[in-house]
Amino acid sequence: MHSDERPAARVRPMTTEDRREVAELIDGVENFNPAEKECALELVDIYLGDPDQTDYAFAVASGEAPGIQAYICWGPVPLTRGTFDLYWIATRREARGRGFGRTLVGHAERAVASSGGRLLVAETSAKSSYRNTIEFYRSLGFEEASHIADFYDVGDDRLIFVKRLS
Give me the CATH number covering residue 30.
3.40.630.30
- Asked if the structure places residue 128 within a domain, the reply is yes
Q: What is the extent of the structural domain holding 127?
A: 10-164
Tally the domains of the chain: 1
Examine residue 76 and state whether it is found in any structural domain, yes or no.
yes
For residue 80, tell me if it sits in a domain.
Answer: yes
State pTM to two decimals: 0.93
Beta-carbon count within 10 A of 136 CB: 21
Q: Is there a domain that residue 113 lies in?
A: yes
pLDDT tens across 71-128, in order?
999 999 999 999 999 999 999 999 999 999 999 999 999 999 999 999 999 999 999 9
